[in-house]
Amino acid sequence: MNKINKLFAERPADKKLLSLYFCAGCPTLDGTADVILAMQSRGIDMIEVGIPFSDPLADGPVIQTAATQALRNGISVQKIFDQLKAVKDKVTIPLVLMGYLNPILHYGIEAFCQSCAEAGVSGMIIPDLPFSDYLDTVKPVADRYDLRVIMLITPETSEERIRFIDDNTDGFIYMVSSAAITGAQKSFDEQKQEYFRRINAMNLRNPRMIGFGISNAQTLKAAQDNAAGAIIGSKFVTLLNESEGDANAALDMLFEALRS
C-alpha cells in the first residue's frame, strides 16, 4: 500500500497528523537526508521535500529565499533524488515532493515518476499543474508507479471543482488556508473558519490536510480541529535557517512555538 494511504488508513480516530515542509538544499546542499531522519525520529508523520525553482508563484518570501539559496548551493532535481535514495531504506514515513511544473517537465514526467519510486517518494504536489494535464498526462504515469498526485484547494475553489478533485485524486487533499501565498500567520479569522466549516460539511471522500500560515498553537489547533492534520512550511524553514541546518534544534524551537 502507498505510504500516504497507509498513514491515513491506520491513523487512530483521535490522532491529528503533522506534516512539515522544507526546501531541499537549504540551508546546506547536503543536509536533506539529515533533516528527513531528524523529523522522522521526532514523530513527524509526513514530510514535504521542496524542489527549488526560480519562480515559485505560490510561495511567500521565506520559501522564495530558501529556494534561491538552495539553487545557489547547487541543488538540482537529480541531486535531490540521489540524496533521497541514500536514505530510502531508513525512511518509513511518507515523503511528498513539492515542486513546480517547469523543472519536472525538464526532467521528464516518466523519468520523474520512476525516480520518485526508486527514491521512496510516495507522492507529489505540483501547484501549477493544470487539472486537465494531470488527468491526461500525469495521472496515468503516476498511477503506474503507485504515486499520489496531491491537489490543492483554496477558499476560492468552487464546490463543483472540489468534488471533481475529490473524485479524481487519492491520498489526501491539500486544503490551503487562504488564497494568498505561503507565510506564517498569528491566527485564522472568521472568514477562514467559515471556509473550514464549509469544506467539513461537504463530507469529502479524501482526508484533508490544512496548510499555509500555521505557526503557533492557535493556528495549529484550528487546522487540526478541521482536518486530519496540519502542514507547516514557512515557520519551519525559518527555524531551520536560524539553526544553520540543525534540524533537531529547529524542531525544538518549532515545538515550543506550537505550544504558545
- Residue 242 has which C-alpha cell? 536560524
Classify residue 10 by its DSSP letter: S
Nearest to 133 by CA among 156, 114, 109: 109
**218-240 residue pLDDT tens:** 999 999 999 999 999 999 999 99
Which residue among 10, 34, 48, 167 is the active-site one? 48
Q: Where are the alpha helices (DSSP H) in the chain?
A: 3-9, 32-41, 61-73, 77-86, 101-107, 109-118, 131-133, 139-144, 159-168, 190-200, 217-225, 234-242, 247-257
Whether residue 59 lies in the annotated active site? yes
**65-107 residue pLDDT tens:** 999 999 999 999 999 999 999 999 999 999 999 999 999 999 9
Whether residue 244 lies in the annotated active site? no
Nearest to 22 by CA among 95, 112, 87, 127: 95
Which residue among 10, 14, 30, 59 is the active-site one? 59
Residue reference for cell 498513514: 7
